[in-house]
């Protein structure tokens, strides 16, 4: 299960998506999330679905790798779907005591599942095609107006990127610790809930020790390189919007317009 977590991983490439400005990719990702939740008709879901599938194909990221990131959140998706199926009122199809399955509940659950899955896939595509350094620069540039109110934009962007960058490292460290404990005869899968929680202690303690050690090493490395925050810092690579970025923005605007038109004129089952 730990190896299925792909958040924070970056896959180098030279595709069109990789070459786009990270600021534009971040903006388009936010707009895509808004578009997902603005869809009001069943046929309207085809627009964000087709858009994301085409973007994944252009990025040359294996679809298997993108879908792999959904596996860890499947319990949350199933739980959300069950809640909507049983607790959304409407035309009853099946009834067991106080539990009722309605057509409206099934449709709402299906829409919510589609939104969650493609939200995860869309945000994963951002991290797959954008390096942590480029993502840091993009976040800092987009939040730069907040400097006028003394908001620590650079420090906030650095913290977010370091956290995102170390997710795969901590997952790999956890996997190694679990393998080492299993090799010593530790049983973490049998027994009740209380026993399983106790079995996690030999994993959590060395994991926290390793995380604090890595944090200290990172802090010392930054101090040795005379890091003093964002004041007066310059960048070797300057961000510039290109024609490619505006083509991507135009495609997203067109898709959003189609969704709005479908919301106004296309029929819906609800």
What is the tens place of the pLDDT at every residue in 210-230? 888 888 888 888 878 777 766
Which residues fall within 8 angstroms of residue 218, CB to CB, at 6 or more apart?
162
Determine the pLDDT at residue 254: 96
How far apart are the C-alpha atoms of 133 and 131, rounded to whole Å? 5
- From start to end of 89-195, where are the E strands? 92-96, 99-102
Secondary structure letter of residue 227 according to DSSP = -
Tokens of 142: 């987009």
Query: Average pLDDT, whole number, for the chain?
Result: 82
Secondary structure letter of residue 102 according to DSSP = E
Determine the pLDDT at residue 178: 81
For 68-102, how does the pLDDT look when each residue is reduced to its tens digit (9 = 90+)?
778 778 888 888 888 888 777 777 777 776 677 77
Question: Which segment of 116-130, 145-159, 188-202 scores lowest on mean pLDDT?
Answer: 188-202
Helix (H, G, I), strand (E, B) or coil at 133: helix
How far apart are the C-alpha atoms of 24 and 30, rounded to whole Å? 10
How large a percentage of the chain has pLDDT more than 90?
Answer: 23
């Amino acid at each position: 299960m730990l190896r299925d977590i792909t958040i924070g991983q970056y896959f180098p490439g030279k595709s069109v998506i990789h070459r786009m400005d990270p600021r534009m990719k971040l903006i388009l990702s936010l707009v895509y999330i808004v578009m997902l939740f603005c869809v009001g008709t069943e046929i309207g879901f085809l627009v964000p679905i087709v858009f994301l599938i085409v973007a994944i194909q252009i990025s040359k990221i294996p679809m298997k790798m993108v879908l792999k990131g959904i596996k860890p959140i499947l319990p949350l998706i199933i739980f959300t779907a069950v809640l909507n199926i049983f607790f959304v009122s409407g035309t009853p199809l099946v009834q067991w005591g106080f539990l009722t399955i309605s057509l409206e509940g099934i449709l709402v659950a299906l829409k919510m599942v589609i939104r969650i899955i493609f939200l995860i896939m869309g945000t994963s595509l951002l991290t797959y095609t954008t390096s942590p350094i480029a993502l840091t620069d993009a976040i800092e540039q987009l939040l730069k107006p907040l400097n006028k109110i003394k908001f620590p934009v650079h420090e906030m962007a650095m913290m977010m990127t370091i956290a995102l960058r170390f997710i795969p490292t901590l997952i790999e460290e956890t996997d190694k610790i679990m393998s080492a404990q299993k090799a010593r005869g530790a049983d973490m899968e049998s027994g009740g809930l209380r026993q399983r929680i106790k079995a996690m202690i030999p994993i959590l303690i060395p994991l926290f020790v390793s995380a604090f050690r890595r944090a200290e090493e990172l802090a010392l490395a930054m101090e040795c390189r005379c890091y003093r925050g964002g004041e007066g810092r310059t960048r070797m690579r300057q961000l510039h919007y290109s024609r490619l970025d505006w083509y991507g923005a135009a495609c997203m605007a067109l898709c959003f317009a189609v969704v709005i038109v479908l919301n106004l004129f296309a029929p819906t089952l609800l």
